[in-house]
Amino acid sequence: MLVNSTTPILEIKNVSKEFMLQGQAIHALSNANLTIHKGEFVCLIGASGCGKSTLLRIMAGFEAPTSGEALMWGMGIEEPDPRRGMVFQDYALFPWLTVRENIGFGPRSQGRPKAEVRDTCERFIDMVGLRKFADAYPHQLSGGMRQRVAIARVLANDAEVVLMDEPFGALDAMTRERLQEELLEIWQRTKLTVIFVTHAIEEAIYLADRIVVMSPGPGRIESDNHIELARPRDMTSPEFNEIRRMLSARLHSHHSKKAA
């Protein structure tokens, strides 16, 4: 498909999503609109239940919107596609496969030549720093290592978009910081498009070009905030903390309105 340089890589148009739970309709998303261009790093933040993960799953093709449409390069998203890779908090690795085999699973499934699969595996093993653990199984790895494998597995599939659902949420603080740095290095090196769901305002400001604030009940996109801070970013700087205070006030205002 010929893509115009101005065509967004992902577009969400008037998307609403309802679920039925015990005979009652749950409104997970209401009239969401979002445009994402190639190479952007976008974070979605908001309270639990605001529809962040639902929106991500619609982008991935795991869920269909009740109304509205989700597009990639102007074409409707109707099912999962290796061009849109998903990274979950719980890693979702195959426990019976080694690091190398997990990373190579997608290319092998696509019927690529053995030499190409081997070269792809080796490249991404090196990219995520797991050369010494290439033949280890997931249970032999730390949480941070498993998440690196999950990221490498998505990249090995030739993903253009990486959708990340709180990928570092279960990790200790030091591992989380290290993986944030490594993710930024990979993003800058590969020019990937990243959509990253997090509860942590500081993590979003540290990582993102844009931070999309979502409000609950039902989930709506409340604001879209461009982050102009130069990289690498200093979490202790006055500019960083001014953005943190602004975003925190926007998030807390939703709770205040609901409480009222």
Structure tokens belonging to residue 260: 């009222």
- Residue 215 forms beta bridges with which residues? 220
Q: Are 15 and 70 in contact (CB under 8 A)?
A: yes
Q: Which residue spans within the chain are E strands per DSSP?
A: 10-21, 24-36, 41-45, 67-72, 75-76, 84-87, 161-165, 193-197, 210-215, 220-226
Cα–Cα dist 221/160, whole Å: 24
Domain extents for the chain? Answer: 1-83+210-260
The whole-number pLDDT of residue 1 equals: 45
User: Is the CB of residue 211 less than 8 Å from the CB of residue 225?
Assistant: yes
Look-up: residue for tokens 């990486």?
A: 162
> At CB < 8 A and 24+ separation, what contacts does 115-119 make?
none
Model pTM?
Answer: 0.90
- Three-state secondary structure call for residue 146: helix
240: its two tokens: 């960083």
Give the pLDDT of residue 180: 92
pLDDT of residue 5: 60
pLDDT tens across the length of the chain (260 residues)? 445 568 899 999 999 999 877 888 888 899 999 999 999 999 999 888 788 999 999 999 999 999 999 999 999 999 999 999 999 888 789 999 999 999 999 899 888 899 999 999 999 999 899 999 999 999 999 999 999 999 999 989 889 999 999 988 888 889 889 899 999 999 998 889 999 999 899 999 999 999 999 988 788 899 999 999 999 999 999 999 999 999 999 887 755 455 44
State residue 193's pLDDT score: 96
Report the CATH number of the 1-83+210-260 domain: 3.40.50
Question: Scanning the structure block, which residue is given the tokens 């989380």?
Answer: 176
Residue linked to tokens 């053995």: 114
The verdict on whether omega for the bond into residue 232 sits within 30 degrees of 0, i.e. cis, is yes
Q: Name 41's bridge partners.
A: 194
At 10 the pLDDT is: 97
Continuous H helices in 157-191: 173-190
